[in-house]
Amino acid sequence: MLRNYRTLKKAGVLGLNARNGNYILQYNKRRFYPLVDDKVLCKRCLQERNLAVPDLIGVIRSMRGASHMEDVLGDQREFVIKPAHGSGGDGIQVITDRKADYFVDSDGKLVEFADLKHHVTNVIGGMYSLGGQPDVAMIETLVHFDQAFSALTYHGVPDIRVIVYMGYPVMAMTRLPTRRSHGKANLHQGAIGVGIDLASGLTVGGVSGNAPVSVHPDTGENIQGFRIPHWERILLMASQCYEAVSLGYLGVDIVLDRDLGPLILELNARPGLNIQIANRQGLKCRLKQIDQLENKEADAETRIAWSCRAFGTLGEEPVAS
Amino acid sequence: MSRNRQWLVLSLLLITLGSLIFAYKYVRLGFPPLPDMQSEAWSIQARVQLDPETGSVRASLVLPSRPTGFTVSDENFISRGFGLTLEEDTYRRQANWAIRRMREPTTLYYRANVIRDTRDKSFAPRPAFPDVPQLEEPFATALQDIITEVRAESADIETFAAAMMARMTGREDDENTRLFLSTVESPMDRVRLVQTLLAGARIPTLQLHGVSLEQEQAAAQISTLLAVHNGEDWLVFNPYSGEEHLPDDFFIWWTGDRTMARVTGADLGEIQVSTRKQLKSALDLATLRANLRDSRMGMISILQLPLQTQGVYEVLLLIPFGILLIVVLRNFVGLSSFGTFAPVLIALAFRETELLKGILLFVLIVSLGLAFRFYLERLRLLLVPRLAAVVTIVVLLMAAISIISNEMGMETGLSVSLFPMIIISLVIERMSIVWEERGAGTALKEGVGSLFMAALAYVVMGIDLLTYWVTVFPEINLIVLGIIVAMGRYTGFRLTELSRFSKISDQNA
Query: What ipTM was predicted for this assembly?
Result: 0.76
For residue A103, the enclosing domain spans 55-141
pLDDT digit string (tens) for chain B, length 509 residues: 456 688 899 999 999 999 998 888 888 777 888 877 777 788 898 988 888 887 888 888 999 887 778 888 888 888 878 888 888 887 788 899 988 888 888 888 999 888 887 766 677 788 888 888 888 888 888 888 888 888 888 888 888 888 888 888 766 677 778 888 888 888 888 888 888 888 888 888 888 898 888 888 888 888 888 888 888 888 888 888 878 888 888 888 888 888 888 888 888 888 888 888 877 777 777 777 777 776 666 666 777 777 777 777 888 889 999 999 999 999 999 888 877 788 888 888 888 777 888 888 888 888 998 898 888 878 877 777 888 888 898 888 888 887 887 787 766 555 555 567 777 888 888 888 778 777 788 888 888 888 999 999 999 988 888 888 888 888 899 999 999 999 988 888 898 888 888 777 655 54
Rounded Cα–Cα distance for residues B420 and B415 (Å):
12
- Out of B382, B489, B495, whose CB is closest to A125? B382
Does residue A1 belong to any structural domain of this protein?
A: no
Instruction: Tell whether A251 and A203 lie within a shared domain.
Output: yes
> Which among A88, A121, A141 is the end of a domain?
A141
Q: Are B317 and B301 in contact (CB under 8 A)?
A: no
Instruction: Measure the CA–CA gap between B217 and B81, rounded to whole angstroms.
Output: 28
Same domain, A98 and A161: no
**From A283, which residue of chain B is nearest by alpha-carbon distance?**
B504
Query: A303 and A219: one domain?
Result: yes
Q: Do both A198 and A77 map to the same domain?
A: no
For residues A84 and A215, membership in a common domain is answered with no
Task: Pick from B491, B494, B502, B506 the residue to mutate for testing the A interface (most A CBs within 10 Å).
Answer: B491
Does the beta-carbon distance from A13 to B504 stay under 8 Å? yes
| Residues of chain B numbered 157-216 and touching chain A (CB < 8 Å) | none
Residue B425 and residue B398: Cα distance in Å, rounded?
Answer: 12
Which one is predicted more confidently, B300 or A108?
A108
Using a CB-CB cut-off of 8 Å, the residues of chain B touching A115 are 380
Q: Do B493 and A22 touch (CB under 8 A)?
A: no
Q: Does A11 touch chain B (CB under 8 A)?
A: yes
Say yes or no: B508 contacts chain A, CB-CB below 8 A.
yes
pLDDT of residue A166: 92
Q: Could you read off the pLDDT of B163-217 as tens digits, one per residue?
A: 888 888 766 677 778 888 888 888 888 888 888 888 888 888 888 898 888 888 8
pTM of the model: 0.70
Residue A4 lies in a domain: no
Look at B433 and A282 and tell me if their CB atoms are within 8 Å.
no
- CB A282 to CB B504 under 8 A? yes
CA torsion angle B436 B441 B445 B446 (round to 10)? -10
Helix (H) or strand (E) holding B445: helix B440-461
State whether B502 and A282 contact (CB < 8 Å): no
Let me know whether A180 and A107 are in one domain: no
CATH 2.60.40.2250: which residues of chain B?
A: 39-125+207-222+252-294
Report the chain A residue with the minimal C-alpha distance to residue B332.
Answer: A17
In a domain, A252, yes or no: yes
CA–CA separation, B168 and B174 (whole Å):
11
Residue from the list A16, A126, A277 with its beta carbon closest to the beta carbon of B503: A277
**CATH hierarchy code of domain B39-125+207-222+252-294:** 2.60.40.2250
Contacts of A7 in chain B (CB under 8 A): 505, 508-509
Portion of chain B with pLDDT greater than 90, in percent:
9
Q: In 3D, which of A293, A311, A61, A299 has the Cα closest to residue A163?
A: A311
Q: Last residue of a domain, which of A84, A116, A141?
A: A141
At A140 the pLDDT is: 93
Q: Are B261 and B62 in contact (CB under 8 A)?
A: yes
Work out how many domains chain A is built from and give that number. 2
**Contact call for A122 and B383, based on CB within 8 A:** yes
Asked whether residue A164 is domain-assigned, the answer is yes
In-domain check, residue A197: yes
Q: Do A17 and B437 touch (CB under 8 A)?
A: no
Whether residues A133 and A231 share a domain: the answer is no
Q: Is residue A319 in some structural domain?
A: no
- Give pLDDT, residue B248: 83
SS3 readout for chain A: CHHHHHHHHHCCCCCHHHHHHHHHHHHCCHHHHHHHHCHHHHHHHHHHCCCCCCCEEEEECCHHHHHCHHHHHCCCCCEEEEECCECCCCCCEEEEEEECCEEEECCCCEECHHHHHHHHHHHHHCCCEHHHCCCCEEEEECCCECHHHHHHCCCCCCEEEEEEECCEEEEEEEEECCCCCCCCCCHHHCCEEEEECCCCCEEEEEEECCEEECECCCCCCECCCCECCCHHHHHHHHHHHHHHHCCCEEEEEEEEECCCEEEEEEEECCCCCHHHHHHCCCCHHHHHHHHCCCCCCCCHHHHHHHHHHHHCCCCCCCCCC
* DSSP assigned state of B123: S
Residue A6 belongs to some domain of the structure:
no
A90: in domain: yes
CB contact under 8 A, A277 and B500: yes
Residue type, B313: Y
Residue A137 and residue A262 share a domain = no
User: pLDDT band at A319, cuts 50/70/90?
Assistant: very low
Q: Residues A185, A248: one domain?
A: yes
- Judged by a CB distance cut-off of 8 A, whether residue A21 touches chain B is yes
B69: left (phi over 0), alpha (psi -120 to 50) or beta: left
> Which of A121, A141, A161 lies at the terminal end of a domain, its last residue?
A141
Of B497, B499, B505, the CB nearest to A7: B505
Domain holding A74: CATH number?
3.30.1490
User: Does A137 share its domain with A231?
Assistant: no
Q: CATH number of the domain that A252 lies in?
A: 3.30.470.20
CA distance A107 to chain B (A): 15
